[in-house]
Amino acid sequence: MDFEFTEDEKMFRDSIRDFLEKEFVPIADERDKKGPMTKEEAIDVMKKFKKIGVALDPESTKALFAEDPVIFGIVSEEMGRVWASLLPLFGMSALPAIFAPLASDETKDRLMPKLERAEFIGCFAETEPEAGCDTSDIKTTAKLEGDHYIINGNKTWISNGTIADVALVGAKDLSTGVESFFLVEKDVSPFDTNELHKIGWKANPTAEMFFENCKAAKENEMSAMMGKAFSDPKLMELLPLSPGMMNLLGQMSPFTALMTLPRAGMGLASIGIAQAAFDASVKYAKERVQFGKPIGKFQLIQEMLYNMNVLIETGRLLGYKAIDAINKGSREARRLSSMAKVYGGEAAVKVTYDAMQIHGGTGLSDEMPLERYYRDARMMTVPDGTSEIMKLITGYAILGKGFSAYA
């Protein structure tokens, strides 16, 4: 058992921390207040990340998600620590990006250069107005007509939706009733969007999306793309799947297996937000004097610092333990990543609340990053699976067959 990052991981953590502090700490508070990034701003962010190797072309995604998944945990935690709005921009673009090299030749010709230049913005469109947690009830349909699927339906709460070039859209195949995912390119088959407003992740666009007779090439359906990869070792090489993830894919449904990594990442990103709020609180507790003493000398302040610190330490251990389970392809990956997401998100809510309390009136000012941490922390318990659903997945993993809460 080793609780330390390797030397390479430490070097990576230091370089991404340094990069985020230089590029985004000076602008995050001001920019966040102005609302969703434009597409140009989002591409500018992606290009900056590309310079440190955090990008969505196949070579970079392999390094981020497959060669050492701890690197993905570090990226999540460090982004959370500085500006949580960066997370969905990057994370939700990654899903269609991973499938782009497996798409039809025409789609590849359009998308691969964008991926190489870090000009690719994507989204993952699954949630619908009447199908949130219960994704089995989606109404969006895909009808095969010749060599294209025709997609019809509405999606909601989709990160990056208004600025995405490509959407990976969940839809039920009309001939089988089975759900699959389809790459829909906006330039080829335009879809409409409408901006949604929310309390946190303010710089990240969130959208309603309307697909009306949108076309997706037959080859751009998920099982066709996966089938192509599994029958061609060269294409398989392009997928950022660690040996552990390959093992998970053999044990559970592809969606269940693939979601383990982003859920562990959400847990660690939440811990990043909490860490930023905690660091600010420690500094303030030493500096702020009341009753002739720094407030850090008061036992009730120390108790808050204790509570915050233990939540952060536990959430971080759980997050990296989940990543370790994914890396090993252990069945425990699903339970641990669900727990890491709930625990991290709820820890971030509690820690940012206490951080504001320690700062007194200053904590409630909108001049301080604390209010951004507090709003962003509150976002972490819903997207990518609500806390309740994560708890039910954990319950099922503990109790076993016959105990699914949905059945």
The site for ligand FAD (CB under 6 A) is made up of 92, 123-127, 132-133, 157-159, 198, 201, 206, 379, 382-383, 386, 388-389, 392, 405
The pair of structure tokens assigned to 192 is 């409409």
The least distance separating ligand FAD from the CB of residue 155, rounded to whole angstroms, comes to 7
Least distance (Å) between residue 161 CB and ligand FAD: 7
Q: How far is the CB of 36 from ligand FAD (least distance, A)?
A: 11
**CB distance 348 to 273 below 8 Å:** yes
Closest CA to 342 of 262, 241, 401, 266: 266
CA distances from 172 to 13, 130, 278, 280, 385 (A): 41, 15, 45, 48, 20
Q: Return d(Cα 106, Cα 15) in angstroms, integer.
A: 37
Closest separation between CB of residue 138 and ligand FAD, Å?
A: 10
CA distance 407 to 403: 8
Please say which residue, 304 or 379, places its beta carbon nearer to ligand FAD. Answer: 379
- Of 49 and 124, CB closest to ligand FAD: 124
- Smallest separation (angstroms) from ligand FAD to the CB of 112: 23
Q: Which amino acid is at 389?
A: I
Nearer to ligand FAD, 133 or 226 (CB): 133
Instruction: Supply 102's token pair.
Output: 């497996």
Q: CA–CA distance from 188 to each of 71, 102, 122, 191, 242 (Å)?
A: 35, 18, 14, 10, 33
Please, which residues have CB within 8 angstroms of residue 257's CB and are 6 or more apart in sequence?
245, 248, 249, 251, 333
Judged by CB, which is closer to ligand FAD: 125, or 277?
125
CB 157 to ligand FAD: min, Å: 4
Nearer to ligand FAD, 137 or 287 (CB): 137
DSSP string, 246-311: HHHHHHS-HHHHHHHHHHHHHHHHHHHHHHHHHHHHHHHHHH-EETTEEGGGSHHHHHHHHHHHHH
Point out the residue whose Cβ comes nearest to ligand FAD. 132
